[in-house]
Amino acid sequence: MASILALTRNNKRDSKRNKAQTNRSSSGSIRIIGGQWRGRKLPVRYAQGLRPTTDRTKETLFNWLMHDTTDAVCLDLFAGSGSLGFEALSRYARTVTLVEKDAANARQLQTNLATLNLSAQQATVIQQDALQVLPTLGEQYDLIFIDPPFHQGLAEQALALIQQHKVLKHDGLLYIETESELADIGTQFQLQQLKQKSTGQVAYGLWCLSAD
């Protein structure tokens, strides 16, 4: 009997340990690195294909955007953790629209917006496929973040729709983060490259509409 009780207790401990490990592996956090919420951490879910932009990459990007974020109307496609959108809001963007297909991720974005006491006029979450949303927006943006899951052709499709439906303002900026082999992706859409960097398997850059 004693050995059976000991086995039962061990099974319960293993079950609790496995549950705790599962909870830790399914959640994490992102850190806002600049602006009014500098150093603030926000919870995120770990989901398949979710790849938050690293702090180092964000620092480089927002140094590039030093004079372009304040009062900007922004669109964060494939928002995921919302890392880029929240960083823009911290740096006084006028408004950010976050588009996220995954329902649980979208709910977490809404929760984080509420945590930061942001109104619907400042930030909106659209829980829908980004490629379906783009033709329906009816608005032009100063700054668009494109950081989709890799190896699915999503960046190319998004750029085609942005061009077709004139989603970017004439003097607007596009941030594109892709697989390193797609570093020159903007050229096929008549975009002008302003900045470009690569880190390992990731390429990221800042683009604008060609003067031509």
How many Å apart are CA 101 and CA 112, to the nearest integer? 17
Rounded to 5 degrees, φ, ψ at 38 are: -50, 130
How many Å apart are CA 182 and CA 203, to the nearest integer? 7
Instruction: Write out the two tokens for 99.
Output: 């588009």
Residue 115 lies in a domain: yes
- Report whether 88 contacts 77 (CB < 8 A): no
β-bridge pairing 73-77 and 141-146: parallel
At residue 25, the pLDDT reads 40
How many Å apart are CA 30 and CA 116, to the nearest integer? 14
H or E, element range at 31: strand 27-31
- Report whether 130 contacts 137 (CB < 8 A): no
At residue 5, the pLDDT reads 41
At residue 8, the pLDDT reads 44
The structure's pTM equals 0.85
Residue 63 lies in a domain: yes
At residue 84, the pLDDT reads 97
Residue 199 lies in a domain: yes
- Residue 19 C-alpha from the chain's centroid: 28
How many Å apart are CA 169 and CA 201, to the nearest integer? 30
CATH number at residue 91: 3.40.50.150
Residue 95 lies in a domain: yes
At residue 23, the pLDDT reads 38
What are the average pLDDT values for consecutive 10-residue runs of the chain, which has 212 residues?
A: 45 44 58 96 76 88 97 97 97 98 95 96 97 96 96 96 96 96 91 93 94 66
Please compute, for residue 144, the number of CA atoms within 13 A of its CA located in the half-sphere on the CB side.
29
> Measured between alpha carbons, how far is residue 3 from residues 8, 9, 11, 12, 13 in Å?
9, 10, 12, 14, 15
Residue 19 lies in a domain: no
Domain boundaries, position 150: 27-209
- Report whether 58 contacts 116 (CB < 8 A): no
Q: What DSSP state is assigned to residue 69?
A: S
Residue 165 lies in a domain: yes
Instruction: Write out the two tokens for 76.
Output: 């964060």
Residue 12 lies in a domain: no
Total domains in the fold of the chain: 1
How many Å apart are CA 115 and CA 58, to the nearest integer? 22
